Structure 1
Amino acid sequence: MLLNVSYNNPDIKRKINEEVGEPYGLRERIKQGGIGIGHLVITESSIQIQNFLALDKYRNKCNIELRPRGIIIGFRALLDSYALVIPYWKLNLYKGRAEEYSVYRDNYFIKIEAKAKDKKVHNFMKRILDQKAQQSPTNIDDL
């Protein structure tokens, strides 16, 4: 789900927490070695997201935050902040060309630049896939 998170709205926070879980506490953030990555360059996006990104002239960038049951991709357009909330069971992550990752949820997608020298980005994407694998059911009885 794509949400405007510019303002402190309890209903939007509740929706996000229901979808991907509460934010990690300080102890868990330190234990994991950080739960986010920022300044990722957006190379392409779905039309709904592109309509927001086209509003300003700046380079399109985003950040990704890990949550217990999913991820949040945040980006800015003009003076507003937006979040693409993706639970692990709806997340599709592909490594496209040699220098790009594609993150999908239903009809939304964002393609992120990841050059070969950007080990931090590659390692973080691997962490996302590892988290998704841990959250996935292992047999039919887990559903």
Structure 2
Amino acid sequence: MLLNVSYKNFKVTERINNEVGKPFNLWDRLRLKGTGSPRLLITSASLHIRNLLLLDNSPNNCNIELRPKGIIIRFRSLLETYALIIPYYKLSLYKGNSTEYSIHRDHYFIKVESKTNEIHEFMRKILKKRSDSSSHLFDS
């Protein structure tokens, strides 16, 4: 789901927390060695996201936040901040060529450029968290 998160709205915050969980606490963030990605350059996006990005002339950057049950991709357009909320069970992550990742949820997608090793490590962290969360579904 794509949401405008520019303003503090408790209903939007509650929807995000229900979808991907509350933010990690300080101890978990230290244990995970960070829950936020470096700045990522958006190379391509789905139609709805691309239309938002075309509204201004600034570089199209985003960042990714890890949550217990998913990820949040945040980007800015004009003076607004938007978030693409992706729970792990709807997340599809593809590595295109050696410098590009494609992140999908339903009919939304964002392709980001990955020129540093930090980005590759962060994407591996996302895949590990996704596999850990799916393994908990089968524990009973």
Q: TM-score range by the shorter chain?
A: over 0.9
Deviations 1:26-71 (A, max 9, x none): 1111111110013100000000100110000011000000000000
Amino acid at match of 1:107: H
Unaligned runs of 5+ in 2: none
In the alignment, structure 1 residue 97 sits paired with structure 2 residue 97: yes
User: Alpha carbon RMSD of aligned pairs, Å?
Assistant: 1.4
In the alignment, structure 1 residue 9 sits paired with structure 2 residue 13: no
In the alignment, structure 1 residue 125 sits paired with structure 2 residue 103: no
Deviations 1:86-132 (A, max 9, x none): 000000000001210000000000000012xx110000000000000
Provide the secondary structure at the position in 2 that maps to 1:136. Answer: helix
Q: 4+ runs of 1 displaced by more than 3 Å?
A: none
Partners of 1:43 and 1:131 lie apart in 2 by 25
Partners of 2:114 and 2:27 lie apart in 1 by 29
Partners of 2:17 and 2:136 lie apart in 1 by 24
Matches within 5 A, 1:15-34: 15-34=15-34
Amino acid at match of 1:3: L
Unaligned runs of 5+ in 1: none
Amino acid at match of 1:4: N
**Aligned match of 2:69:** 69
**Aligned match of 2:133:** 135
**Aligned match of 1:114:** 114
Identity of aligned residues (%): 52
User: Scaled by the length of structure 1, what TM-score is found?
Assistant: 0.94
Paired residues in the alignment total: 140
Provide the secondary structure at the position in 2 that maps to 1:56. Answer: coil
Amino acid at match of 1:6: S
User: Scaled by the length of structure 2, what TM-score is found?
Assistant: 0.96
Deviates more, 1:33-42 or 1:129-138: 129-138
